[in-house]
Amino acid sequence: MYQKIYQTIQKQGLFDKHKKVLIAVSGGVDSMNLLHFLHLYKKKLAIEIAIAHVNHHQRSESDTEEAYLKKWAEENGLPIFVAHFSGKFSENAAREFRYAFFKKIMKKQSYTALVTAHHADDQAETVFMRLIRGSRLRHLSSMQSVQVFGEGELIRPFLNISKKELPDVFHFEDSSNDSSQYLRNRVRNNYLPTLEKENPQFKQHLQKLGQESQLVFQALNDLTQTIDYQNCQVFLQQTAAVQNILLQNYLDKFSQLKVSKQQFQEMLHLLQTKSNLSYAIKADYYLVKDEQSFEIKKISPKTDGKRPQKVLEYDNIVSYGQYRFSYQATGEATVIEVIPIFDLSPIILRSRQAGDKINFGDFSKKLRRLFIDDKIPSEDRKNAIIAEQKGQIIFVLVAGETYLRKASKHDIMRARLYIEK
C-alpha cells in the first residue's frame, strides 16, 4: 500500500516544492501510518520531516500518547513540537487551536508544508456532516490533496485510499471515537453504516458528490472570472442566479466572515435594490456600496465625539455603533436582542442627550439616574445607544443591557427590531 501511495504522490508532485515538512500526528492509526510512510520514504521524496502533536487532555491516555511520540521522535532522530490545549473543549475549538499551532510552528521553524492523514472515509464523512448542517452546495466540495495553508501548503496524501486499506501499525485507540457525543462519531458509527445497508457504495457516492460540487464551482469561477462584478452596473446586468454566485465568490475571499444564509440574502437584496448603503456584516466588516461599485472592507469604529444620529425606517437595516438593527415584521437572524415595536413610524438611533428619560409605566426615570443606580461605567454611558420613536425613547442599549419602555396595555405589536452585534 505504501508503494501505491508513493507512486500517486510522485505522479501528483505533491512534495516537489517542499524540503521541510511538518506532520500532524495524533497517535491514531491514520496519523501513525502517515508518520511511518513519510519516515520510510523521506529520502526518496527528498524531504526533512518533523512531528507536530497537540495534547488535548481529554482522556487519561493523552499524556501516555505524548510521551510515546516524544520517545519515538528521539529514537528516530526527528524534531517534535508539542502543544497543550487549554480552555473550554469543543471539536471546533480544538481544531482551531491545532491549526493555529501548526501555522505558528511552520512560520517559526521554516516548514513549508503541513501533512495530515485525511483519507477517503474522511471525505465522505465531511460531505455528509455538511449536508446535515445545511451547508451551501459549494461547501459540499471535497477536500483537496493540496491547498494553501498559512505561508505554505496543506498536503493530504491519503485522500484516495480508505481507512481499511491502511496497514495495522502500532497506534493508540481513542476511546472517545465510540462516544455519540460528537456528530462525526454518530455519522461514522451509526448513520453511514445504516445507509450503506441500503447502498454499499454510499460512501463512494458522497465522495463523488464532493468532487462534482468542486468541479461545478470551479467551472463557474472560470466562466465568471472576467466579469467586473464589483462594478454595480455590470453586477446588476447579470441574471439573479449569476448575481447569487458572484456574491458567494466574493464572500469566499473573506474566510474570517461566516455569513448565515439569511444574512447573505439580505446583502444580495440590498445590492439589488439600494443605490447607497453601509451594511454591518460582522465585527468591523461592512458591505459598502455607492452608485458605481461595492466592496467589503474593515472600518474601525470612531471614538472621537458623539455619533451622528441615524433614521431607521420600517423594512430596512442600518448599522449604528457596533450593532446592526433590522426593523421588520419577521426574521431569523442570529441576534442578541429582539424588541417589539408597536408603531411602524421611523426610529431614530442616537447618542445620549441631556435630560433623556425613559418611561417604565408607573414612573419615568432620567437616564443619568438610571445609569448611576445601575452602576454603569462612565465609558459605557458615552457609548449608550438611544432609540427614539415619535419623540419618546423606546429603548436604551448600554453595556450589553437593554432597557425597554413600558408598553401600554392597548398597544399592539406591529413589528420587531432585531439587534445583531
Q: In the predicted model, what is the mean pLDDT of residues 304-311?
A: 75
- Per the model's pLDDT, the better-predicted residue between 336 and 346 turns out to be 346
- For 89-130, the pLDDT digits (tens) are 888 899 999 999 999 999 999 999 999 999 999 999 999 999
Cβ atoms 19, 111 nearer than 8 A: no
Rounded distance between C-alpha atoms, residue 3 and residue 179, angstroms:
34
Q: Which three cell numbers stand for residue 371?
A: 445609569
Query: Above 50 in pLDDT, residue 329?
Result: yes
Q: Which residue has the cell 432585531?
A: 418
Assigned CATH class of 2-212: alpha beta
Burial of 357 (0-12, 13-18, 19+ CB in 10 A): middle
The predicted pLDDT at position 334 comes to 59
Rounded distance between C-alpha atoms, residue 22 and residue 292, angstroms:
47
Q: Mind spelling out the 3-state secondary structure of 95-137? A: HHHHHHHHHHHHHHHCCCEEECCCCHHHHHHHHHHHHHHCCCH
Helices (H), 225-278: 232-237, 240-251, 261-273
State the pLDDT confidence band at 275, using cuts at 50, 70 and 90: confident
The predicted pLDDT at position 330 comes to 58
Burial of 223 (0-12, 13-18, 19+ CB in 10 A): exposed
Query: Above 70 in pLDDT, residue 306?
Result: no
State the pLDDT confidence band at 328, using cuts at 50, 70 and 90: confident
Q: In the predicted model, what is the mean pLDDT of residues 272-299?
A: 86
State the pLDDT confidence band at 35, using cuts at 50, 70 and 90: very high
Rounded distance between C-alpha atoms, residue 52 and residue 98, angstroms:
9
- Residues making up the chain, counted from first to last: 421
Q: Averaging pLDDT over each range in 164-178, 292-306, 380-394, which range is the top one?
A: 380-394
The predicted pLDDT at position 304 comes to 45
Cβ atoms 365, 358 nearer than 8 A: yes
- For 403-415, the pLDDT digits (tens) are 999 988 888 888 8
Pairing of strands 48-55, 80-84: parallel
Task: Give the SS3 label for residue 393.
Answer: strand
Please tell me whether the overall predicted TM-score, pTM, comes out greater than 0.75 for this model: no
Q: Which three cell numbers stand for residue 6?
A: 508513493
The predicted pLDDT at position 303 comes to 45
- CA-closest candidate to residue 22, choices 75, 82, 63, 67: 82
The predicted pLDDT at position 300 comes to 61
Sequence ranges of the chain with CATH classification 3.40.50.620 = 2-212
Rounded distance between C-alpha atoms, residue 115 and residue 154, angstroms:
6
Cβ atoms 14, 160 nearer than 8 A: no
Lowest mean pLDDT, pick from 12-16, 166-170, 221-225, 333-337: 333-337
At position 154, the amino acid (one-letter code) is L
Query: Above 60 in pLDDT, residue 301?
Result: no
